[in-house]
Amino acid sequence: MNIGQAAKISGLSAKMIRYYEAIGLLQPASRSDSGYRRYNAQDLHTLAFIKRSRDLGFSLEEVGKLLALWQDRQRASADVKALAHRHIDELNLKIAELSGLRDTLEDLVEHCHGDQRPDCPILKDLASNGACH
């Protein structure tokens, strides 16, 4: 199938497929006589693997490691589990950071009168780089 069909089936854009190929996550596609990329069922399976990994928030570097482990039939599942645990730790840090941001913004919104007065704690905080509320 051509790249447009592969994109539609995989849920990825043709641009992303070309990018994944360019950075080595996806093997270079075979080419038709007229030079168009041609993808097979294994390519689609790899694209689905990449998409699911990215949907779970794995970085491109991590996806590369996961792909290598997936393709290595002699892999130790402990290696996969360790990579996933590191990713969970990163996600937990991001969640904590985002929760803190949300809490700060909720506090600022709560203290903003939201009326016709010009005084606004939200803008005051932004202007002070969050140094003091």
Give yes or no for a contact between 50 and 39, defined as CB atoms under 8 angstroms apart.
no
* Residue 19: CATH number of its domain: 1.10.1660.10
Q: Which domain holds residue 7?
A: 1-57
Read off the pLDDT of residues 36-52 as tens digits, 9 standing for 90 and up. Answer: 999 999 999 999 999 99
Identify whether 12 is part of a domain.
Answer: yes
Percentage of the residues of the chain whose pLDDT score is greater than 90: 88
Identify the pLDDT of residue 132: 53
Averaged over 73-81, what is the pLDDT?
96
Read off the pLDDT of residues 100-122 as tens digits, 9 standing for 90 and up. Answer: 999 999 999 999 988 998 889 89
Count of structural domains within the chain: 2
Considering only CA atoms, which of 101, 123, 102, 103 is closest in space to residue 112?
Answer: 123
pTM, to two decimals = 0.81
Averaged over 24-47, what is the pLDDT?
94
Same domain as 84, residue 130: yes
Identify whether 81 is part of a domain.
Answer: yes
